[in-house]
Amino acid sequence: MNKHLQAIIVPVVAVIVFLVFWEGLVWVNGWPTYKMAAPSDLPEAFERHWSLFLTMGWQTLWRTILGLLLAVLFGTALGMIMGFSRIMRDALYPLLVGFNAIPKATVVPIVALMFVGQHDFNTVLLAFMISFFPIAVSVSIGLSTLEPEYRDILRSLGASQATIFWKIALPKTLPEFFGALKVAVTLAFIGTNLMEIVSPHGRGLGALFDSGRTNSDFPLMFAVLIALAFLGIVLYYIVVALEKIFAGWAERTPG
């Protein structure tokens, strides 16, 4: 089979198999929609709230992306500090691990109280807080495990630390960075939705999910989950495309 065609057909078939299995599961058990909605219930929910899905999906998307961008900037800077300085690494790791170990659901009410009414800000903040950790760790590991010979090749010619960073350390860290970014993408969605669901008068898909819950509109809740999954997949593949452009050299053809 043509390789490009295969790359598209295989995942599409997998999604169809998954939907058929889901539909069959609900049908065989005879579950009502308040127990579990079937895929066949969803088109109707999407149709009924189509304009809401568009506006709220957009709200969720831009907040997630903004939070993610901040996480990339902050995480990279933090990773650089920890990657280059042994002392900073020893000092910051316990703090960072401790911070990451706190379930972010517990942070939501604190943030919501701290910045009352700043809904956009709060949501972006949570997406950022939940997703910078893997980026910081991967950048710091990428930099601190750079073999000394790589440094020596340029240093013996009189290159500055900055030159060594741009020419060697940074590109060499890119594969790890993109690996972490893939994790961070899905985490950022979790952060955005935590805030959107929990905080009152929220916006975004999380709030739509919550209104489905209060109105016992179960197909709507499942439709939101599907919409979130869809956004997650889109953002993930955007990262994959960026990875191909900037770190495609690291990919080996298997076999």
What b/e string do you get for 203-216 counting C-beta neighbours within 10 Å, with b at 16 or more? bbbbbbbbbbeeee
Q: How many CB atoms lie within 10 A of CB 17?
A: 10
Q: Are 70 and 126 in contact (CB under 8 A)?
A: no
Minimum gap (Å) between residue 252 Cβ and another protein: 7
Minimum gap (Å) between residue 175 Cβ and another protein: 9
Site string for another protein, 118-157 (x = CB under 8 A): -----------------------------x-xx-xxxxxx
Minimum gap (Å) between residue 123 Cβ and another protein: 36
Give the footprint of another protein on residues 203-232 (CB under 8 A).
none
Give the footprint of another protein on residues 152-171 (CB under 8 A).
152-159, 163, 167-168, 171
Long-range contacts of 31-39 (CB under 8 A, 24+ apart): 33/218, 33/219, 34/216, 34/218, 36/218, 36/222, 37/218, 37/219, 37/221, 37/222, 37/223
Spatial CB neighbours of 204, under 8 Å, sequence gap ≥ 6: 56, 57, 59, 60, 63, 123, 192, 193, 196
Give CA–CA dist 196/227, Å, rounded: 15
- Using the minimum distance from each CB to another protein, give the nearer residue, 171 or 232: 171
Joined together, the tokens standing for residue 21 give 């299995």
Q: Is 250 in the site for another protein (CB under 8 A)?
A: yes
- Residues touching another protein, count (CB under 8 A): 21
Minimum gap (Å) between residue 92 Cβ and another protein: 24
Q: Is 247 in the site for another protein (CB under 8 A)?
A: yes
- Using the minimum distance from each CB to another protein, give the nearer residue, 97 or 242: 242
- Using the minimum distance from each CB to another protein, give the nearer residue, 44 or 251: 251
Work out the end-to-end distance of the chain between its first and last CA atoms, rounded to an integer number of angstroms: 17
Give the footprint of another protein on residues 44-103 (CB under 8 A).
none
**Site for another protein, rule CB under 8 A:** 147, 149-150, 152-159, 163, 167-168, 171-172, 174, 247, 249-250, 252
